[in-house]
Homo-oligomer: A and B are copies of this chain.
């Protein structure tokens, strides 16, 4: 059980060794295929879902695939904000890639929060940072034009994957939904980036050639 990798989540690391061992003993790992629903909006929070591997998309509504909240990469607890507010998921999470999710018992987790002050302070810090990132994501996208928003998303992938060459887990319509613009705007801006030599792209394969210029477009928009 100790082989389960939790080192990419800052607040789990704040647990004492024996607590972490015990918590992970009660946890189980689950696999999701790309496209599967990991969390359904409206359901109650019985467990915490730590995304160990893969990328998920948070959605306001599965039906109308209009409003995408943001993307989560490995190391994040999915919908952690809902766990201690309404205790109901306020959005759905869909796997964009094949994912490995660690299911952690909510009550066990809460018990440690009450028991271990170091842990609860680390958790407060963790959710504050998560919410900051959440807000940043939204501020950035809503204040940008279509080119800036696309540049921002590409930069986020580059940062999260840690490499300038990667494969997007999204098709063009998906990208459009995530950044909140039309598919055509995405295509035209991507074509523009290609013509300007800022990125190379064939289908979902993307290589960022001029990272600083892309960041400029992202910040300027």
Contact = CB atoms under 8 A, between A and B. Distances in A.
Interface of A: 60, 66-67, 69, 81-86, 90, 110, 113-114, 117, 120-121, 123-125, 127-129, 131-132, 134-135, 138-139, 141-143, 180
A70 to B, nearest CB: 10
7 contacts: A82-B132, A85-B128, A85-B131, A113-B120, A120-B120, A124-B124, A131-B135
A123 B85 CA distance: 10
A110 B117 CA distance: 11
Nearest to A60: B139
B139 A81 contact: no
Contacts of A83: 128
B132 A90 contact: yes
A110 B125 CA distance: 12
A115 to B, nearest CB: 8
8 A-B pairs closest in CB distance: A85-B128, A142-B142, A131-B131, A84-B128, A138-B138, A114-B117, A85-B129, A84-B124
Given A60-B139, A81-B128, A139-B69, A121 B113 contact: yes
Contacts of A117: 114, 120
B67 A139 contact: yes
A139 B139 contact: no
Contacts of A82: 128, 132
